[in-house]
Chain A
Amino acid sequence: MIRDPIRTLVFRLTAVTLALLLILSLLASWLALHQFERVLFPELRLKAQGVAEVLTRQIDRALGYGVPLAELPGLSAALATEVAAHPDIVYIGVETPDHRILAAQGQRPAMPRRSAVAAPDDLEILAPLTGQHGLEAWLRLSLDPDWVAKASTDLILEVASVILISVLVAFEVLLLVAHLSLGRVRATGTPRAYRPGSGSPFNLVFLRLPVFLFCLSEEVTRPFIPTHAQALAPTAPWLPHDLAVSLPITLFMLIWALSQPLGARLSGRIGRRRAFILAALLSALGLTLTALTDHLLAFMAWRCLTALGYGLALITAQGMVVDHTKGHNRASGMALFIGALLAAGVCGPVAGGIITDEAGATTTLLVGAVLALMAAATLGLLLPKGERHGPPGTPAWHRDLSPAIVKLARNQRFTALMAFSAIPAKVAATGILFCLIPLLLTESGADKAEIGRVQMLYFLFFIIASPLAANLSDRWQIRRGFIVGGGLATLAALIPLALVDQAWGPYLAIALFGAAQALISAPQLSLVTQIATRVRVAEITAIGWYRLLERLGGALGPLVVIGLAASGSYHEAALGIGLVCAGSALLFWLLYRRASPALHALETHP
């Protein structure tokens, strides 16, 4: 691919541009953050001084009227109001000149710790309280030495995720621009002027931006869907609360899974290009209606509509890749497609979280709708019109459905693979990532941006670990080992979520969880294709069944997680899911091994 000199040039330019962008934004952010603590602390101190001044003025007024400080009612309540209103102020007290405390709220840091930004003295403010006869008492106000550190950590993480998003978005755009210019350079030599979508050879790269934008439209909603459903739960009081929270995600996954065969039929009838545009418009409509509703039932209905659009669009886009690739370049075509999916998975939750914190869930849903519209528009502009409807010879996995599934179901290895690896893995993925994480983190006081950051880590580590795992499992010809390892690793990953009571617990858990899921993904697919060959079922049909079954597992995920959480806590639910994954991995190992040792040897050493 890269042997073409123009392509090489474009590739290098893209890489250099991205590297420059990354370095410059890192540098700018580092400089800004460096200043942040220095600027923030004096501002906090100034604000605390303001608080002290307001209190002093109030108390001084009472003292001025001759109210004895010891008899002034409501003094503690006034201090408590201020302590509660300012998270950075941990203590306010009123003490006499001989250090007798008349009123106090909060916990005074016993010995102010040395902080990077403030001397111990800076962490306290002492203001005199004066009455008719001069100094009567002191107002003492203590700042939280850890607050600045926490605020700057939050900011660093936020800036880092924004940089990551901007680099990924820049990459998507650059890739497209580079390929458009590539086409133009090529076209200048020929009589016809180049226009995207005007009979030039189909370039799969043009599919990538629409797919990226489209996935982004759904990914931005990830951090708040379950908590949003939770908030709407009172509008459907007859629905058990746990079901109200999990059902929207479950229905979404279910409709998505079931829309796949429909998608193939739809693009067969009206063509892939129109099918994708139609599906994206459907999704945009669904997201808009979701944004505008405040009733749980309507919310679920519009989520289903969005899911239908989502499923149709993705299967159609996948169909385009299949249409325009052959055996030798299908893998790279799919990689392009999945790359867009994962890039959106990294960008979406964080961007969605930040937008939700700043402007609310309604705005985020509307942003999602706009992204879906942009996906439809970019695809309409970039891909050629008048493409054949359902190109002949396109393998459609749904063509001989029933005989295929009978053959597959009779194969013990296939059933073992589905029941004890594919389905549990997806139960864990959707249950933990889309349902448990938003609920658990919201419960512990995190904002939506933090939820998005944690969700992003899943995709990030999946992207990093996935090619490595695929590569190694190919090189060592170990599939079963990776799958079992991934199941056990899922349990190990979820342990921090269940047991670590620190802020970094969920980050670590979800990063490991992403890596563990990456171990399973590629080897599962390889095994499915192997089995398909063995039982003489078209590869694409077997993969179709595999995806359908694992997505049904995905639909089960939120129900399982919420069911476990209902009888315990969110932490216990995480541990429960981990145990399910590890247990089924061991079962899979036993069953798959027993199935057919001779053929197993044949398969692993072809």
Chain B
Amino acid sequence: MTVLSRRRWLQWGTATGASLLAAGVRANPAPPRRFRIFMVLGRGEGTNEQGFKDYLARRGLEIDYIVRDTGGDASLLPGIIQEIKELRPDLVYTWGTPQTRAVVGPWDDPEPGPYVRDLPVLFTYVAAPRDAKIVPNLERPGGNVTGTIHIAPVAAQVNAILAYRPIRRLAAVFNPAERNSLLMIEEMRRECARRDLELIEAPAPLTDGKPDPLDIPHLIARCRELGGEMLYLGPDTFFTTTHRHQVAAVALAERLPSFSATELIVRTDRALFALSSSPYGIGRLTGVKAVQILLEGQSPGEIPVETLRRFSVLINMATAKELSCYPPLSLLNLAEVVGV
């Protein structure tokens, strides 16, 4: 029985039934394609990657993941990029600003040599992709790159800080060697000026271009001595990921309430509160973009760089108690609470 004769028979059927069946006939699918996604991570697989993988699995994609983790060591990146160029995966997934910058390079650098420019690259956990020159434009990133942003806009962060406590002086520690931290501090400077807030900046001193963890206690103590009423922790890998345990403990010892733009340091350590996207949600949003590239065949340059519309407040109640710095009822109503 050929497809043709079956179609003829179907013409006698009802209109809806016919079209449904015909669609079934036409869509007779080729065996599902397996995709290869190359992941370039900086601190191992997290909830974020879990959300990404879960989403793609639920959409029925069969994927082979090739995972490489720098563990914060940038010297590994050239080798990883070489591997990408040899393997030619269907999609490159990059976590964090340093990894993404190394893979795609500044968009206005005409020299394609060391960068991946001919494979779709999907980044995540990049706080300021435009300022980091990863994309020229968030709406239409152009080229072979798109991705997701994981932090709330700076104005929303300042709103959250002021909702917790009406302060006048905000102190920020950051690693000047991290591009995204510098960009975030620049934006914070503008926002604080707009709101008549004083921003106390405490950049980590660099030796050989690297910050030293031994400087952390001294930096945070200085923030307090200069009159900082709240410690600001931006999307800074050195302070909020690698050395988060020490940072949170020192802030607590100095009795300085701390706000973080990412949630890990509040969830696993003793920073006071955070305004952040759920990492799992960001992973899913990144998954949506992967589907657009892999299944729907869209060019990454046409897919806007986005962030989640909702951010959640996460409060570490143990820290609040120890500091006697309790959240107001209105903020508490919206917040997730840990450390009870």
Interface residues of A (CB under 8 A from B): 58-59, 61-62, 65-68, 71-75, 77-78
Contacts and interface: CB of A to CB of B under 8 A. Distances in A.
A338 to B, nearest CB: 61
A72 B326 contact: yes
Contacts of A77: 328-330
Contact of A74 (B321, B331, B337): B331
A68 B321 CA distance: 9
A58 B335 CA distance: 11
A58 B329 contact: yes
B317 interface: yes
B329 A65 contact: no
Contacts, number: 40
Nearest to A73: B328
A72 B327 CA distance: 7
A71 B321 CA distance: 11
A314 to B, nearest CB: 58
Contact of A66 (B321, B332, B333): B321
Nearest to A75: B329
A67 B326 contact: yes
A457 to B, nearest CB: 46
Contact of B333 (A58, A68, A71, A73): A58
B324 interface: yes
B167 to A, nearest CB: 13
B340 interface: yes
Interface in B312-340: 317, 320-321, 324, 326-333, 337, 340
A73 B321 CA distance: 13
Contacts of A67: 317, 320-321, 326, 332
Contacts of A74: 328-331
B interface, over-half SS: helix
Nearest to B326: A67
Nearest to B330: A74
A66 B329 contact: no
Contacts of A58: 329, 332-333
B329 A73 contact: yes
Contacts of B326: 62, 67-68, 71-73
5 contacts: A65-B337, A72-B328, A73-B326, A74-B330, A77-B328
Give the one of A62, A75, A77 with max B CB within 10 A.
Answer: A62
Contacts of B333: 58, 61
Given A67-B320, A74-B331, 16 more contacts: A58-B332, A59-B329, A61-B333, A62-B326, A62-B332, A66-B321, A66-B340, A67-B332, A73-B326, A73-B327, A73-B328, A73-B329, A74-B330, A77-B328, A77-B330, A78-B329
B321 A61 contact: no
Contacts of A71: 324, 326
B86 to A, nearest CB: 54
A71 B325 CA distance: 9
A72 B329 contact: yes
A77 B330 CA distance: 8
Contacts of B320: 67
Contacts of A75: 329
Contacts of A65: 317, 337, 340
Contacts of B330: 74, 77-78
B116 to A, nearest CB: 48
A139 to B, nearest CB: 13
B326 to A, nearest CB: 5
A190 B148 CA distance: 89
A65 B320 CA distance: 10
A59 to B, nearest CB: 7
Contacts of B337: 65
A75 B333 CA distance: 12
B329 A62 contact: yes
B166 to A, nearest CB: 10
A78 B333 CA distance: 10
B332 A61 contact: yes
A77 B163 CA distance: 12
Contacts of B329: 58-59, 62, 72-75, 77-78
A68 B327 CA distance: 11
A78 B326 CA distance: 15
A280 to B, nearest CB: 50
Interface in B275-334: 317, 320-321, 324, 326-333
A422 B47 CA distance: 85
A71 B332 CA distance: 14
Give the one of B329, B330, B332, B333 with max A CB within 10 A.
Answer: B329
B271 to A, nearest CB: 17
B327 A66 contact: no
A540 to B, nearest CB: 73
The 5 closest A-B pairs by CB, nearest first: A74-B328, A73-B328, A74-B329, A78-B329, A65-B317
B202 to A, nearest CB: 27
A538 to B, nearest CB: 77
A78 B337 CA distance: 19
A66 B326 CA distance: 10
Interface string B168-187: 00000000000000000000
Contacts of A78: 329-330
Contacts of A59: 329
Interface in B140-193: none
Give the one of A67, A68, A72 with max B CB within 10 A.
Answer: A67
A65 to B, nearest CB: 5
